[in-house]
Chain A
Amino acid sequence: MSRTVCLSARQIGVIVLLYSIGTTILIIPSGLASDVKQDAWLAALAGVVLNLAFVWYYLRLSRRFGGATLIGYFRKSLGRWIGGVFALLFLLFSFLGASQVIYYIGDFSITHILPNTPMPAIHILFVSIIAMGLWLGLEPLARAAELMFPFVLLMLFLLTVALLPQVQLVNLLPVLESPPPRFVKASLTLIATATLPLAVLLMVFPVHITGDPKKGERMFLLGALIGSIVFFLISFLSITVLGARATAVYLYPSYILARMINIGDFLKRVETILALIWYITVYVKASFYFYGFVAGLTELLGLKSTRTLILPGCILLVLYSLVVYPDQAYSQLYDTTAYVPFAFFSAVVLPLFAWLVDWIREKLRRSSPPPPAPESARRSGAS
């Protein structure tokens, strides 16, 4: 890359926040409510803790990178070929993730905003601004996220305040009715949707951050914390306002939630305005998911600029996002079953393995300083 891209600590915090809200608030309340009914908010609360745990794991992991991205780290620790395979698997994860996010925004748009519009049109439209963002580069993207952030907060605040009169705490009772295994399942699904995609941000995180790394980590953590609180809030509101049964039945309960706003028979019918939250957050999520893919592939192939891959990548993205889920029923099933282990494998196990190997090597090197492993000579060319 021609010049080093640098994001500020605050920017990465904002990105993490918007990114983790992303599709999560759109789809997950429904999944949680169908798993643990009125205890969905508790599962979300557990999600806050788990979320922080995993973010902490990512931050610790990122300290080992030493100026490399996650892809670079794979190759550094596992060698050119095995590392490359790992990197490819990880790229698959981010590409699939990006397609899923695009699918969801398309599906959401057609369901609620623009019925009768063909899905490809919406996907092309949406992907084209993602392409524009990536083309302009990370910095404008981060700055745009920074600018959008107050609006998202404002909208979320309005949503919450406007719904407060309709909160019925009775809907939360009885507490802890669902059996523990369901809780575990709900929390895992939540983590897989909300937190694990943050691994893709490791393509940006330690490398492209300027200033004190500690501050960057703090903002990363803060962003994830606020993100999970927002998510908890939305689950809580869904359950208390809509009720557990309705939350579980609707495809996009948080949109229905926004529909419930009615203040003095005057401020109502504002859901499409509030949909701005979903579009902005999903945009950020899709952009960085896809950035992970494009930048990772660029690094893997040793290309000079990420721009080369943007156009072909975007065409691929549009096409794949149209077929990633054949129908809504499939998407719901997939998200709560196959996706969870897949996400854990790609975003937790792969990096953990690389870390372990790296750690063992370091131990070996320390115990026997003289022999420089032959791999270590080769891997210097990776990054």
Chain B
Amino acid sequence: MTIRCMKLAILLLLASLLSGCWSRRELNELAIAAALGFDQAPRGYNISAQIVNPGEIAKASGSGRSPVITFTTPGDTVLQGLRRMTKESPRRIYGSHVRVLVLGEELARKGLGGVLDILARDVEMRTDFYIVIARGGKAMDILETFTTLEKIPANKLFTSLEMSDKNWAATGKVTLGELLDDITSKGKNPVLTGIEIKGDEALGKRKENMQRAKIPAELIYSDMAVLKSDKLVGWFNESESKGYNYLKGTVHSTIINIPWPDGSRIGVELLRTKRKIKVEWKDGKPVAHVKLTAEGEVGEVQSTADIRNPFVLREMREKTEADVRNRIRSAVRRAQTEFHSDVFGFGEALHRSSPRKWKEVEDRWHDELFPKLDLEVQVEVTIKRMGNTNQSILRQMGGHS
């Protein structure tokens, strides 16, 4: 019995040695792509990949070569472009570690459907990278820009999107999984965050961009792009983007500035928002009930208002609620009137509440019914804490008002 075992083991071992290494690839044979960019080309696409130069990044003291290299090649299909890239790159492009995918605005306006399939299909690709749109520009320009603090620009894109998502409500991190889900859904359309280069674009592509304290060219996130199905149809402004995120329920923390009657401003920090959306069919049109509850904190007081006074606090609260409500309304209105695209998922909510009705209307949802949707927004904010101090400096200076 054991003899046979040994024979078997030896055979296995021999077989495995004979096999060579079909899918083997050594670490130093890989071109680790940190970011990918797709642009519209006259024929097909321009595919860019930001490749990490590990030797430069790993070592404590780099030898002064560039930490990343960006290749761009045209291709009728994405895969063709990626494979053609090996003409340029000495190593095979490895996509499992892509952090960010940048899509050119022109491509986004023409439709993303074509480029997304490969991302879902290719087993090497994961679904956890973020997708952004190069606002008013090309993805390859974004990828070619050097950044400071993070040696790898893609990392900077990734982390700063995460950070702003956590602390600022006007960007959204959208992963491939969510994007695909939204695109294939009939009752919801996707949005993507935009990115643009601020400053001197040409200078940004030089390595010196990394070496100055005041950066000549910077990658910053701008507002959110609204897609209809897989086509970009327009951009929310900052206020609407915030409104969108309130509705999406992804606001972890944000600042709301409320104007105070004395002309100054008070900043309220919103933490932990929760929202409930219910859509029902009433009198031949959909009605959406949105209820948003949020917990707030007094963040900054520029006025002399007596924030120890419960009535002042109540006023503060009401103004905050109004601010949130208005942003939500404006976002929805813009989507209804201008974009005809339900990016908020009201359609899916209707699907959940009345599946039968949904079956009837699903095909006419975005263009006919969504614009007619009645929105009822109810916002409840509680302001519980005020930070370290319970009175503003201004008030302490100026006595009482």
- Taken together as a complex, chains A and B put the C-alpha atoms of A268 and B15 apart, in Å, by 33
Residues of A within 8 A of B23 (CB): 114-117
Known contacts A111-B123, A132-B5: does B181 contact A125 (CB below 8 Å)?
A: no
Which parts of A255-270 form the interface with B (CB within 8 Å)? 256, 259-260, 262, 268-269
Kindly state whether residue B309 has any CB partner on chain A within 8 Å.
no
Interface check B211, CB cutoff 8 A: no
The docked-state distance in angstroms from the alpha carbon of A256 to that of B181 is 14
Smallest CB–CB gap between A183 and chain B, Å?
A: 15
Write out the residue numbers on chain B whose beta carbons fall within 8 Å of the beta carbon of A245.
Answer: 181, 184-185
Instruction: Given A114-B22, A121-B22, A135-B1, check contact A170 B352 (CB 8 Å).
Output: yes
Residues in B neighbouring A121, C-beta threshold 8 A: 15, 19, 22
B 163-205 binary contact with A (CB < 8 Å = 1; else 0)? 0000000000000010011001100000000000000000000
B contacts with A: majority SS: helix
Question: For residue A243, which residues in chain B have a CB less than 8 angstroms away from its CB?
Answer: 181
Instruction: Point out the residues of chain A lying under 8 angstroms from B180, CB to CB.
Output: 246
Contact string against A for B residues 108-139, beta-carbon threshold 8 Å, 1 for contact and 0 otherwise: 00000000000010011011100000000000
Contact A116/B22 with A128-B8, A174-B355 known, Cβ cut-off 8 Å:
yes
Tell me the complex Cα distance, A262–B22, Å.
Answer: 30
Within 8 Å CB of A256, what residues of B? Answer: 127
Flag A110-154 by CB within 8 Å of B: 1 or 0 each: 011011111001001100100110011000000000000000000
Interface of A is mostly: helix
Residues of chain A in range 231-256 having any CB-CB distance to chain B below 8 Å? 242-243, 245-246, 249, 256
- When C-beta atoms are compared, the residue in chain B nearest to A137 turns out to be B1
Encoded as 1 (CB less than 8 Å from any A CB) or 0, chain B from 2 to 16 comes to: 001100100110011
Check B8–A118 contact: CB distance below 8 A. Answer: no
Determine if A174 and B185 form an interchain contact, defined as CB atoms under 8 angstroms apart: no
A115–B128 CA distance with the chains assembled, in angstroms:
20
Write the chain B residue with the least CB distance to A252. B123
| Residues in chain A near residue B124, CB distance under 8 A | 115
Q: Is B242 in the interface zone, CB < 8 Å from A?
A: no
* Size bracket, chain B contacts: 20 to 34
Please judge, given known A-B contacts A117-B23, A132-B5, A174-B351, whether A124 and B184 are in contact too, CB under 8 Å.
Answer: no
Known contacts A125-B15, A246-B177, A246-B180; is-contact A174 B353 (Cβ 8 Å): yes
Smallest Cβ-Cβ distance to A310: which chain B residue:
B4
Task: State the CA gap A266–B184 with chains docked (Å).
Answer: 30
Which of B19, B123, B352 sits near A173, CB closer than 8 Å?
B352
The answer to whether residues A115 and B123 also contact, given A174-B352, A262-B128 and a CB cut-off of 8 A, is yes
Given known pairs A124-B15, A125-B15, the reply for A118 and B355 (CB within 8 Å) is no
Instruction: Tell me how far the C-beta of A33 lies from the nearest C-beta in chain B, rounded to whole angstroms.
Output: 13
Contact across chains for A128 and B12 when beta carbons are under 8 A apart: yes
Interface flags, A48-65, vs B, CB<8A=1, else 0: 000000000000000000
Residues of B within 8 A of A259 (CB): 126-128
A245–B1 Cα distance when bound, in Å, is 50
Which A residues, 162 to 199, have Cβ-Cβ distances below 8 Å to chain B? 170, 173-174, 177
**Nearest CB in chain A: distance from B121 CB, A:** 10
Query: Closest CB-CB distance, A163 to chain B, in whole Å?
Result: 13
Select which of A118, A132, A174 is within 8 A of B22 by beta carbon: A118
Complex alpha-carbon distance, A125 and B126, angstroms? 28
Q: Find residues 334-385 in chain B having any chain A CB closer than 8 Å to their own CB.
A: 351-353, 355
| Bound Cα distance from A17 to B18, whole angstroms | 37
Which residues of chain B have C-beta atoms less than 8 A from A116's C-beta? 22-23
Contact with A along B267-281 (1 / 0, CB 8 A): 000000000000000
Residues 252-280 of B at the A interface (beta carbon under 8 Å): none
Which residues on the B side are within 8 Å of A135 (C-beta)?
A: 1, 4-5, 8
Complex CA distance for A268 and B22, rounded to whole angstroms: 26
Chain B neighbourhood of A174, CB < 8 A: 351-353, 355
- Point out the residues of chain B lying under 8 angstroms from A170, CB to CB: 352
Inter-chain CA distance A260–B127, complex, in Å, is 8
Option from A112, A131, A268 in Cβ contact (under 8 Å) with B123: A112
A125 to B124 Cα, complex, angstroms: 24
CB-CB under 8 A from A242, the residues of chain B are 177
Shortest distance in angstroms between A42's beta carbon and chain B's nearest beta carbon? 14
Let me know if A128 and B11 touch, CB within 8 A.
Answer: yes
**Nearest residue, chain A, Cβ from B348:** A170
The docked-state distance in angstroms from the alpha carbon of A274 to that of B80 is: 33
B355 touching A177, Cβ below 8 Å = yes
CA distance A260 to B175 in the complex (A): 11
Distance (whole angstroms) from the CB of A327 to the closest CB of chain B: 15
- Besides A115-B23, A121-B15, A259-B128, 15 new A-B residue pairs in contact (Cβ under 8 A), listed by A number: A114-B23, A117-B22, A117-B23, A118-B22, A121-B19, A121-B22, A128-B11, A135-B1, A135-B5, A174-B355, A177-B355, A245-B184, A259-B127, A260-B128, A262-B128
Instruction: Using CB atoms and an 8 Å cutoff, list the residues of chain B in contact with chain A.
Output: 1, 4-5, 8, 11-12, 15-16, 19, 22-23, 120, 123-124, 126-128, 177, 180-181, 184-185, 351-353, 355
What are the 5 tightest A-B residue pairs by CB atom distance, in nearest-first order?
A: A173-B352, A116-B23, A117-B22, A174-B355, A177-B355
Would you list 13 pairs from A and B whose C-beta atoms are within 8 A, ordered by A residue? Answer: A117-B23, A132-B5, A135-B5, A136-B5, A174-B351, A174-B355, A245-B181, A246-B180, A246-B181, A256-B127, A259-B128, A262-B128, A269-B126
Q: Give chain A's interface residues, CB within 8 Å of chain B.
A: 111-112, 114-118, 121, 124-125, 128, 131-132, 135-136, 170, 173-174, 177, 242-243, 245-246, 249, 256, 259-260, 262, 268-269
